[in-house]
Chains A and B, each alone.
Chain A
Amino acid sequence: MKKKRLALLTATMVACFSWSLPSSAAVLYQSGTLGGYSVSASLSMGSTSATASTTSGKAGAVVARTSYTYGFGVARYTVSASNSANSTYTSATANSNHYGSVSISATGSHSVSFDSYYWSPNTSTQ
């Protein structure tokens, strides 16, 4: 059963999905078509937080997770947040815990699944 799902996933991705990859920049946004529906993933970083968002054109299991790293004094701190929903949209925001901190970087991991389709893009400020 697991092999069948993996094969199905591979076929699905090759046949139905495409996206544009910035070749020399941070990947803050990804989008494409999954099973005929639009899907997208985005990441933003502000001065004290980072937010990952996941959107699907068809309701299904949507997940957004972000890890946000900031500097405070001589220490770096990494905080994370995640959210999931059986819906068309979810987002997760990780906030700095220290007043006066400096944003360093953020990563996002996202997933959308419905019917037999599955998409799990990554986003990053690097």
Chain B
Amino acid sequence: MSRIRKIITLIVVGLILSSCSKQVDYSDSYQPETDYPIRFQQQASNTRIVPSEAGYYILNANYLYYADKSSMEPVLLDNRPDNQCLQPDQTDPALHCSAYVNIPDTYGFLAYHKNKLYTLENQAIFKKDQVIAERTHLMQVAKDGSSRKKMFTFESLPVSIIVHRGNVYYALRDFDKDSNLRYEVRTFPLTSSSPKSKVIYKGQLPEGSIQGLTAYGKHLYFTEFAPNLTRVMHYDIQEKNLTRLFTDDDSVYPTLEDIADNQLVFGYFYGTLEDKRSWVVYSSNLDGSQIHKLPVDRTYLSIFSADDRYRYARPPWYYLDTDPFQSIPYEMTVYSPQYEELGKVDMTAFKKDHSLIMGDDTYMFVRYGQKGSQLVKILKKTEFPTRFPVFQDFLETPYRTEG
């Protein structure tokens, strides 16, 4: 075979292989290696606890941890014996602790995609010894914390971000040099050597915002809100079209609560806690079609969530100090997938700000701040439905009072 023929053969084989590797998955089934971990979502916040093959990665109060599923002992991602992690007098933790992530706590983010770990990190930009700006980067972090690789620099700090099937989806909200508000959803391919982001949705509402990016299968969901207005939006990743879900009535506030059995679980809030229409929960197809009332009757407003084996409902805890909810105990009712009540989990320890992460078949997580620390507790679900234990201590990290 001549040299030219060999080169042509190599190019053709290369092209075939590259076209195969770029085959996009548009199926509506969960792929754990590449998909957004929907069971680890936190409402109005980015994921900070993500599952891997053998354990969980956790971002807690600016520090990265790993816990093996068998031991559930969280360890910092810095195995140097002389590391200076968690030292309150450490003025530059990024230099002395490979587990430290420099990002405001509200915007903390963790993703695990194809055996790789990703987080967001802020960098101060100096000019003449003054900080003139901050840049936010997507960083790929070695799984032992020993190194980081910058993957992308964002236009501004993302207010919501997910990684799903090889792409990063994120929402921005900032102002241009003429003080005009810009808020939008953008995307870029995670593995591109020089990624460029493109807009997939540009918001038009005065004082509008976007939060709660979620993805399942070929579907991307997010919440758009503005003064006295909430919309749930759906982007079909395959067809590249955008629709508004559940209602076109801006006097009603829809909430996408979870996804279970390839169905969206959602409700409508009519503005007052006493309005019994707000207590009803519905399901629909993944594109929002075929809406049905779920076979469960609640006697007050309830937050619904799901994992692969159970369904859950609990009152919105932030209303439990006010009428008409003052007499309602903070309990989480556990249901079968057919909404047969199985039992209740006592949640009275979490009547202040907290985030519940439904987790996998084994563990549920709760995150909250208390007395200057961020805590994570875990609930072992393997004893359901014969026993409903309380949450156990798992991880406590003091907040850094300096960024």
Which residues of chain A have a CB within 8 Å of any CB of chain B? 2, 5-6, 9-10, 13-14, 19, 21-27, 30, 60-61, 63, 65, 67, 69, 71-80, 97-100, 102, 104-105, 107, 109, 111, 113-116, 118-124, 126
CB pair A97–B269 under 8 Å, yes or no, is no
Question: Does any Cβ of A come within 8 Å of B41's Cβ?
Answer: no
Task: Give the distance to chain B from A60, nearest Cβ to Cβ, in Å.
Answer: 6
Contact: A75 with B370, CB < 8 Å? no
29 A-B pairs with C-beta separation under 8 A? A5-B129, A10-B95, A24-B371, A25-B372, A30-B401, A71-B316, A73-B255, A74-B301, A76-B44, A77-B209, A77-B225, A78-B45, A97-B226, A97-B228, A98-B227, A98-B253, A99-B271, A102-B319, A102-B322, A105-B369, A107-B106, A109-B104, A113-B126, A113-B131, A121-B401, A121-B403, A122-B105, A123-B401, A126-B374
| Contacting pair A120 B45 (CB below 8 A) | no
Residue of B nearest to A120 (CB): B403
Query: How far, in angstroms, from A27 to B107 measured CA to CA in the complex?
Result: 18
Cα–Cα, bound, A98→B271 (Å): 9
Contact assessment for A61 and B132 in the assembled complex, using a CB-CB cutoff below 8 Å:
yes
Q: Is the interface of B mostly helix, strand, loop or mixed?
A: mixed
3 tightest Cβ-Cβ pairs between the two chains A and B: A126-B369, A73-B269, A67-B106
Residues on A with C-beta less than 8 A from B302 are 74
**Could you tell me the distance in whole angstroms from the C-beta of B39 to the nearest C-beta in chain A?**
18
Question: A21, B88: Cβ atoms under 8 Å?
Answer: yes
Number of interface residues of B (CB under 8 A): 57
Q: Give min CB distance, A124 to chain B, whole Å.
A: 6
- Beyond contacts A74-B302, A102-B319: 19 other A-B pairs, Cβ-Cβ < 8 A, are A9-B91, A22-B372, A23-B372, A60-B130, A67-B107, A69-B44, A75-B44, A78-B106, A80-B106, A98-B230, A104-B318, A109-B104, A111-B131, A118-B124, A120-B402, A122-B402, A124-B105, A126-B368, A126-B399
Contact B104 A67 (CB under 8 A): yes
In Å, the complex CA distance between A67 and B104 comes to: 9
CA distance A72 to B401 in the complex (A): 29
Q: Is B207 an interface residue (CB 8 A)?
A: yes
Interchain CB contact under 8 A, A78 and B104: no
A24–B372 CB distance below 8 A: yes
Residues from chain A with Cβ under 8 Å of B369 in the complex:
105, 124, 126
Question: Chain B contacts of A21 at CB under 8 A?
Answer: 88, 372, 401
- Kindly report which residue of chain A lies nearest to residue B95, judged by CB atoms: A6
**Min CB–CB distance A14 → chain B (angstroms):** 6
Residues of A within 8 A of B370 (CB): 126
Query: Which residues of A lie under 8 Å from residue B327 when comparing CB positions?
Result: none
B131, A97: Cβ atoms closer than 8 Å? no
Q: How far is the CA of A10 from the CA of B172 in the complex (A)?
A: 32
CB <8 Å contact, A99 and B131: no
- In the complex, chain B residues whose CB is within 8 Å of the CB of A73: 253, 255, 267, 269, 278, 301, 316
Residue of B nearest to A76 (CB): B44
A76 contacts B228, CB within 8 Å? no
Contacts of A104 in B (CB 8 A): 318, 353
